[in-house]
Amino acid sequence: MSALPTAHNDDTIVSLATPSGRGALSVVRLSGPLSFSLAKRLAPGLVLSRSRSLASLFKEGRLLDRALLLLFPSPHSFTGEETVEFHLHGNPLLVDELLEALLSLGARPALPGEFTYRAFLNGKLDLLQAEAVDSIVRALSLRELRAAFQQSEGLLSKRLDSLREDLLACAARVEARMEFPEDPGLFQTPLPLDPLKGVLQAAEEILRASPLLAPEAESLEVVLLGRTNVGKSSLLNALLLKERALVSDLPGTTRDYLSERILVKSRPITLYDTAGLDPSESRPLEKEGMAKTLGLLEGNKLLLFVVDASLPPSPQDREIFSSLSDRRVVLILNKSDLGRAFSDEEAERLFPGTIGTVSLSAKKGTNLPLLRDLLERELLLCSPEREEELFLNRRQRFCLQSLSLSLRKAIAFAEEDAGEEFVAEELRSALSSLDRLTGRAGTENLLEELFSSFCVGK
């Protein structure tokens, strides 16, 4: 892939900004110094003083389409450059024709993320806001989406700007003591330990309060387990509202685990359907499936222990359940439509210590809303929502952790009276980590990798 330019350039770039394929409309985005003149050449009747116009587009003298054109003069556009958006009828043939015409007139295809990159270069966004643009597109839940919008509006940037001002003031005092050793007034002033501790506390509070922006971090993981033929796959299909897993009256249909994601109240949950557990099983293939099931139980997952409530609990049920001590387990009494062989009181006595019990029928859909309510409750317990919330990607978290480490070292050197030069060096390192985080400095090698992960047209 071509490298993104590392400085401003005079290219005018173009790309489809909506998903490819047929639809109600397609949007082609054009940005750069030639944008208005190229639009005028394709739409001779276009009035450039208007911000939006319905205009006829021509290619080589023939009508191409009648489209809505939105004009954004520099610097009042997303990129900070002249920008034109062509809103066409949603036919890929029209899109290809328009792109071909614009390229023949001097535009070039945009690289992935280049529109956002230009917004960053032109000071319309800082690096954190630019990353938030990509997060808006990739968000898997409303919670992630709301946090990404807050970050695109500068929520994290404003907090870090305040933190940077305090850190610069501390660093300046230490540097002044080193630069002017003959000034007795400077040495009568102690090293800025309390302000440094305040900066450290603020940085670590951001780390504590900001979950990792990654699918595995935001999603609650839920494992369906139990002995064979108790209806685990039927329950998975019922929660997914589709036939994802094969279902049969014969035991042992599932020999490997399946994973699928669902949304509960607009928040993601990863479900695992697993091979049935049978402690007496000796066949190699079935034993391998059970080994994979047991491997899934590692980590902080919620376990849905499924039993067939139309039959008395078997010794296998009780043996499997006894191995789940100290885990978050929900007891699922499935096949309730066939009649209950034991009461809720008996279930609590036979399977004690669960965080909840749901009697349902995966086949009929009875009481599935109760299970969804329970899953929602567990989601909120694992990761409660806040009015102002941030998600950090791995790069941002690493920079903040590096900042925190440098501040801790600086404070330790100051408390040990190790010398201003050691404190100053750690404060320079802390500022460097902070500036890499916000994109002020040290990002030359990062930018291509970061923006190339964006969609083309963003």
Q: Residue ranges per domain, the chain? A: 13-126, 133-211+393-438, 216-382
Q: Cα separation of 174 and 199, whole Å?
A: 15
Q: Give the least confident one: 159-168, 413-422, 423-432.
A: 413-422
- When mean pLDDT is compared over 141-150, 178-187, 280-289, 331-340, the highest value belongs to 331-340
pLDDT band of 361, cuts 50, 70, 90: very high
CA 287 to each of CA 85, 201, 446: distance values in angstroms, whole numbers, following the listed order = 59, 50, 47
Number of residues that this document lists for the chain? 458
CA-based nearest residue to 324, from 343, 344, 296, 345:
296
Question: What is the rounded average pLDDT for all residues in the chain?
Answer: 83
CA 228 to each of CA 118, 249, 256, 290: distance values in angstroms, whole numbers, following the listed order = 57, 10, 13, 11
Please answer whether residues 240 and 271 qualify as being in contact, where contact means their C-beta atoms are separated by less than 8 angstroms: yes
Q: Bigger pLDDT: 224 or 262?
A: 224
pLDDT at 319: 86
Q: Cα separation of 351 and 312, whole Å?
A: 13
Helical axes 394-415 vs 420-438, angle rounded to 10° = 170
- How does pLDDT run across 367-416, given as a tens digit for each residue? 999 998 888 888 766 665 555 677 888 889 999 999 999 999 999 998 88
pLDDT band of 138, cuts 50, 70, 90: confident
Cβ burial 391-421 (10 Å sphere, 16+ → b, else e): bbbebbbebbebbbebbbbbbebbeeeeebe
pLDDT at 1: 41
Instruction: Specify the CATH number for 216-382; select among 3.40.50.300, 3.30.70.870, 3.40.50.880, 3.40.120.10.
Output: 3.40.50.300
> Which backbone phi and psi does 85 adopt, to 5 degrees?
-110, 125
Q: Bigger pLDDT: 285 or 314?
A: 314
- How does pLDDT run across 80-129, given as a tens digit for each residue? 999 999 999 999 999 999 999 999 999 999 998 899 889 988 989 888 89
Give the pairing of strands 23-31 and 52-59.
unpaired
- How does pLDDT run across 432-450, given as a tens digit for each residue? 999 989 888 755 555 666 6
The CATH code belonging to domain 13-126 is: 3.30.1360.120
Q: Cα separation of 296 and 291, whole Å?
A: 9
* 216 pLDDT higher than 60: no
Q: State percent of the chain over pLDDT 90.
A: 36
H-helix segments, 247-354: 284-296, 315-322, 344-350
Q: Give the least confident one: 148-152, 225-229, 241-245.
A: 241-245
pLDDT at 283: 55
CA-based nearest residue to 316, from 290, 282, 279:
279
The CATH code belonging to domain 133-211+393-438 is: 1.20.120.430
Q: State percent of the chain over pLDDT 70.
A: 80
pLDDT band of 250, cuts 50, 70, 90: very low
Cβ burial 429-442 (10 Å sphere, 16+ → b, else e): bbbbbbbbbbbeee
Helical axes 127-138 vs 394-415, angle rounded to 10° = 140
pLDDT at 264: 77
pLDDT band of 175, cuts 50, 70, 90: confident
Q: Give the least confident one: 103-112, 148-157, 216-225, 287-296.
A: 287-296
- When mean pLDDT is compared over 252-261, 275-284, 306-315, the highest value belongs to 306-315
* Number of neighbours of residue 292 by Cβ within 10 angstroms: 14
pTM: 0.63
Token digits for 235? Answer: 């329950």
* 291 pLDDT higher than 70: no
Q: Bigger pLDDT: 421 or 456?
A: 421
Cβ-Cβ contacts under 8 Å for 96 (sequence gap 6 or more): none
* 288 pLDDT higher than 70: no
Q: What are the strands, taking DSSP E only, across 188-334?
A: 220-225, 258-264, 267-273, 302-308, 329-334
Q: Bigger pLDDT: 223 or 247?
A: 223
Token digits for 352? Answer: 């004690």
CA dihedral 73, 77, 83, 89 (to 10 degrees): -120
* Residue tagged 């299909």 (tokens): 237
End-to-end CA distance of the chain: 16
Question: Would you list the DSSP string of 302-329?
Answer: EEEEEEETTSPPPHHHHHHHHTTTTS-E
